Structure 1
Amino acid sequence: MRSNVKVMYFFLIAVLLIASFPCIPVAAATKTATVNATSLNVRTEPSSSSKQIGSLKKGSNVTVFNVEKGWANISFQDRKAWVSSAYLKENGTNSPSKPSLTKENTAKTAKVTATSLNVRSGAGTQYKAIGSLKNGTIVSIVKEEGNWTSITYGSMKGWVSSAYLLNQNRTAPTTPKPSATNPVNSGKWGRVTATYLNFRSAGNLSSPIIGSLKYDTSVQVVSESGSWLYIQTTDGKKGWVSSQYISIQTGGAPIVTNPKPATKPPVVPPSSVSKKVVIMSDGVNIRQGPSTAYLIVGHVNQGDEFAYLQSKNDWVQIKLPSGKSAWVAGWLVVVQQSASPNSPSTPKPTLGGLKGKRIVIDPGHGGNDPGTSGKSSGTQEASMTLMSARLLATQLSNAGAKVILTRSDNTYISLNKRVEISHFADAFVSLHYNSATDKSATGLLTFYYGQKDLKLANSVNTGLVQANTGLKGGNVRYGNFHVLRENKQPAVLVELGFLSNPFDELTVKSNSFQTKAATGITAGLAQYFQ
């Protein structure tokens, strides 16, 4: 009896000792993999925001339990942990019929083509840079939005410009996209209420303009984000537009697969209207009367066009598509002459060579660097270059070019950054206004640095001369400027007159000069590409 009690006593002690040891997971996986990243972060959960508990060196072998949504569950220091499956190379497996570790990522990886690519917290240059990626880096694509791509790289997650990514597998997209000839019909559609409406690569004002829509154009609404609509036209073009210029219609809208020429005549201003007003900035207030004391009745954006009614105290009255009128600050618009339908039209330069070309427009100075200023009325160079760049960008976009501005507001951008933005561009144009101690110095100048720039400089200069801006032109000069010297792409720097010269300063502030200068540079670029 006593011996039985003793046996029972030792049995209980053995059970307690076994229970006190930590439970070591049994390797239930049927495959192993090798780390192919220089250093691979190991995390507690399948997320780049989860806690990092260690790292694995290149060549390390790991046991893989399962893979889900781009993350591999592995054995790490006698416990289960998670790593990005994009950086694991599967070893031999006993289950060849199972999908490989990175199958879901093969159509979602891309290679960085820029020397140094900024990673931002959001889809736009206005968002903070949270890191950078070197040339040749392979990243995982999460999603694409306009000209921006959401990516992950190790523990880094953010947005980068799609222009500097080379998709590693375009043949197998994870999420099939509707083709241009087979658009998605969500049942919601609308008509453009602005005379001229820009549409952009993403739903914000800093995104590049990729096209324009005329008044009363029918569009399909694909999705919405805040005050922006992602729309598709009848010929398959897609982009983002401000929702305030789209009148949502009831009922289904026909989406034409192969659009035919319109049977009704285009909307044209009445013959009595001899001028039109072109808005030169985004988010411009329009008011009930000619001063800031009047109530705001709406907003207009860069490139919008309206019929001109009258001017008063530096304010311009415009006619809205609804038939009502409003006032806009005269220094934010360009008033252009509208040709009568019956009057002979002036031959326009052929701009076909611009279609699809990637052109970077660089408004000089900005932020804490205002540049030079006018001697007569204090005109600031930084403000003038931005105004000129916006007008030039609109004309180039209308001709089918893909335009990128190095800055879209009064922000300081370093010279290195301006050059970096131009990587893989077809042309780079930096806009400036000149100054000299000699007040008689006058006219336009176009600078180049290397042989690769000379043809572009000559073409732009010729376009400016033929535009008859009102300033003396015809000078092409060598210039040892950073944005030209360090630029690998064809690049020019254009000085649009001398602010130190009272005549030049007065001339460059006129609507006529700004319009003609933009037209001349556009024509010069078109000639260069042809």
Structure 2
Amino acid sequence: MIRVFLVAAACCLAAVLGLPADAAPGAESPASANSASAAVSRYTVTADILNVRGEPSLTAPVIGKLKQGAVVEKLEESGEWFRVRAGELTGWAHSDYLQPADDGTVTGPDEDGLTDAAPPPSNPKAIGRGIRGTASRKPVETETADNAVRTGHVLGDAVRVRTGPGTDYEIEGHLNRGDRVSVIASEGEWYRIETESGLAGWIAAAYIGFRTDGEPAGDALRGRVIVVDPGHGGNDSGTIGTTYGTYEKTLNLSTALLLKRELELRGAVVVMTRAADEEKPSLQERVEIAARSGGDAFVSIHYNSAETKASGILTFYYSAGKDKPLAAAIEHRLAEGGLGLDSNGISFGNFHVVRENSLPAVLLELGFLTNERDEGLARTESYQLAAARAIAQGLEDYFASQEERS
């Protein structure tokens, strides 16, 4: 179990980042107070159930939950997170699931531990990407941004289509890699899709990619297929943090999903070797996914461990000819990205997913979970997002240099 004292964690994070104590997560500063008063301060929850966390991070402990339609007061923001207050509950919620409220009252938790509210607004929007969402047993009617229908394609084999946005819903059918779908709605981290054959249902968003055919060329990643491999999974937790008890598999997946989004924003198509916490493909299966993908590069995401107080980032390659240029490009961006951890450079690594891979491949260790400072940073969404952006930029640099040579 992860045990975190929120105030202490905030102060520790402030110390790690070299910030004054009042700049720690959860502490209001004059700047944040001014921005909050200048912006809309009341928001309505659009998700069925919205987790409220102790820190602005997906890996932070959940300290409460809000029901759809609950109206909260926004106190401050940090990136994509809002610090909100509803009755006696105060914590951090993701802004994707909050929309400005015109009326309503702030309400507190009821006896089931959830915050109740007035009837939910019509046409709630919950736009998100990822692989897991809270299951709901009531019909869901949501819309994509601007009511647009997007054409995507399936990134996996035998991908389940379900009757609702969650793994507890019944399976409606299956789709295979490359199948075309129309994405007509989203709910949390799931897409509602329809196929030309008439199959309709919900698919985890991580299994859907969006083609860039017909879009202007010019970006180095546009149209590139990148295989992203979140290490471990299922009953294989990987390293367990020695200070906060963080599971490596959880950080690998959350970082990989942020990387997926960064790559898609740059026009790439992303194939995930696993897209849910319970999945644990074998090392050989991960290599086979890469081979079938027709991809251009393979990136395996990990966090490290050591018996010493080792710290920092490591980038591994196997083949000097095939992999090392990619490793060098990504490492350069990680070193210059201002992540808060030093890069320890590139090194030869005899790892199966790199050694046996037909694609240019790297394995990244993005910090030591056996080091208190590394683990504290790695648990934050801001660190993971900075790492994801640096990796995406490194891939851009790599493909740009390949084009120059061709």
Instruction: State the secondary structure of the residue aligned to 1:477.
Output: strand
What's 2:93 paired with? 316
Q: Are residues 270 and 374 of structure 1, via their aligned partners in 2, closer, same or farther at CA, if it must alter by over 3 Å?
A: closer
**Match among 357, 371, 377 for residue 501 of structure 1:** 371
How far the C-alpha of 1:294 sits from its partner, in A, is: 3.8
For residue 382 of structure 1, the aligned residue among 246, 249, 253 is 249
- Select the structure of larger CA radius of gyration: 1
Letter in 1 for 2:287: V
Could you say which residue in structure 2 is the equivalent of 1:367? 234
Kindly indicate whether the alpha-carbon contact (under 8 Å) linking 2:301 and 2:364 is maintained by their aligned counterparts in 1. Answer: yes
| Contact 1:433 1:498 (C-alpha < 8 Å) held by counterparts | yes
State yes or no: 1:430 paired with 2:290: no
Taking the aligned partners of 1:317 and 1:494, their CA distance within structure 2 comes to 27
Q: RCO (CA 8 Å, sep 6+): is it higher in 1 or 2?
A: 2
List structure 1 segments (4+ residues) > 3 angstroms apart after TM superposition: 269-274, 287-294, 305-309, 311-314, 317-322, 325-328
Cα distance change, pair 319–518 in 1 and its aligned pair in 2 (3 A): closer
Q: CA deviation at 1:272?
A: 4.2
Partner of 1:27: none
User: Given the superposition, is the C-alpha separation of residues 475 and 512 from structure 1 closer, same or farther in structure 2, using an over 3 Å criterion?
Assistant: same
Contact 1:307/1:318 (<8 A) preserved:
yes
Deviation at 1:321, TM superposition (A): 7.2
> Which secondary structure state, in structure 1, belongs to the residue aligned with residue 338 of structure 2?
coil
Inter-partner Cα distance in structure 1 for 2:280 and 2:353? 15
Which AA in structure 2 matches 1:286? Answer: L
- Aligned partners of 1:445 and 1:307: how far apart in 2? 28
Query: Is the counterpart of residue 491 in structure 1 residue 361 in structure 2?
Result: yes
The answer to whether the Cα contact below 8 Å between 2:49 and 2:67 also exists between their aligned partners in 1 is: no
Greater helix share, 1 or 2? Answer: 2
Aligned to 2:262: 395
Paired with 1:319 and 1:484, the residues of 2 have a C-alpha distance of 35
Q: Structure 1's 515 and 317: CA in aligned 2 closer, same or farther, altered over 3 A?
A: closer
Shift of 1:316: 2.3
Root mean square deviation of aligned Cα: 3.5
Query: Which structure 2 segments of 5+ residues have no match?
Result: 1-34, 41-46, 54-61, 71-77, 107-114, 116-125, 131-217, 401-406
2:67 corresponds to 1:295 = yes
Alignment correspondent of 2:289: 421
1:7-46 to 2 correspondence within 5 Å? none
Instruction: Tell me the residue number matched to 1:459.
Output: 329
Shift of 1:520: 0.4
Note if contact 2:317-2:362 (Cα within 8 Å) is conserved in structure 1.
Answer: yes
Other-structure match for 1:443: 312
Amino acid paired to 2:234: G
Within 2, Cα distance between the matches of 1:483 and 1:437? 24
Residue by residue over 1:109-138, the C-alpha shift from the partner in whole angstroms, topping out at 9 and shown as x without a partner, is xxxxxxxxxxxxxxxxxxxxxxxxxxxxxx
Segments of structure 1 that go 5 or more residues without pairing to the other structure are 1-268, 275-282, 299-304, 333-350
Q: Give the partner amino acid of 2:283.
A: L
Q: Give a deviation string over 1:462-500, Cα, whole Å, max 9, x none.
A: 111121100011410000000011101100000000000
Residues 347-366 of structure 1 aligned to structure 2 (within 5 Å): 352-366=219-233
Deviation at 1:515, TM superposition (A): 1.4
SS at structure 2 position matched to 1:456: helix
Q: Report deviation, 1:309.
A: 4.1
Residues 104-119 of structure 1 aligned to structure 2 (within 5 Å) = none
The AA in structure 2 aligned to 1:508 is: A
Q: Distance in 2 between matches of 1:399 and 1:521?
A: 12
Q: How many residues align structurally?
A: 227
Identify, as 1 or 2, the structure richer in strand.
1
Residues 294 and 407 of structure 1: is their aligned pair in 2 closer, same or farther, counting only changes over 3 Å?
Answer: same
Cα distance in 1 for partners of 2:370, 2:357 equals: 29
Secondary structure at 2:100's aligned position in 1? coil
Is this contact kept in 2: 1:358–1:402, CA < 8 A? yes
* CA offset digits 1:336-388 (Å, max 9, x no partner): xxxxxxxxxxxxxxx91000000000000000111011000100000000000
TM-score by length of 2: 0.50
Shift of 1:307: 6.6
- Shift in CA distance, 272/380, structure 1 to aligned 2, threshold 3 Å: same
**Matches of 1:354 and 1:271 in 2, distance apart?**
40
Q: Give the TM-score, by structure 1 length.
A: 0.39
Q: Return closer, same or farther for 1:318/1:425 CA change in 2, 3 Å cut-off.
A: closer
Q: Provide the residue aligned with 1:408 in structure 2.
A: 275
- What is the Cα deviation at residue 323 of structure 1? 1.9
Q: Alpha carbons of 1:308 and 1:516: their partners in 2 closer, same or farther (altered >3 Å)?
A: closer
Query: Are the counterparts in 1 of residues 50 and 65 from structure 2 also a CA contact under 8 Å?
Result: no
> Matched residue of 1:354: which SS?
coil
Choose 308-317 or 469-478, whichever is displaced more: 308-317
1:396-433 CA-partner distances (Å, limit 9, x unpaired) = 00100000110110111100110011112100000000
Distance 1:509 1:409 in 2: 18
Distance 1:354 1:482 in 2: 26
Instruction: Tell me the equivalent position of 2:73.
Output: none
Describe the shift of the 1:477–1:485 C-alpha distance in structure 2 as closer, same or farther (beyond 3 A).
same
Asked if the contact 1:286/1:297 (under 8 Å) is kept, the reply is: no
Distance (Å, rounded) in 1 between the aligned partners of 2:388 and 2:362: 15
Q: Pick closer, same or farther for the CA change 1:448–1:441 going to 2, 3 Å.
A: same
Match of 2:50 in 1: 286
Partner of 1:473: 343
Assess if the C-alpha contact under 8 Å between 1:287 and 1:297 holds in 2: no
1:78-101, Cα deviation, whole Å (9 max, x unpaired): xxxxxxxxxxxxxxxxxxxxxxxx
Q: Secondary structure at the match of 1:422?
A: helix
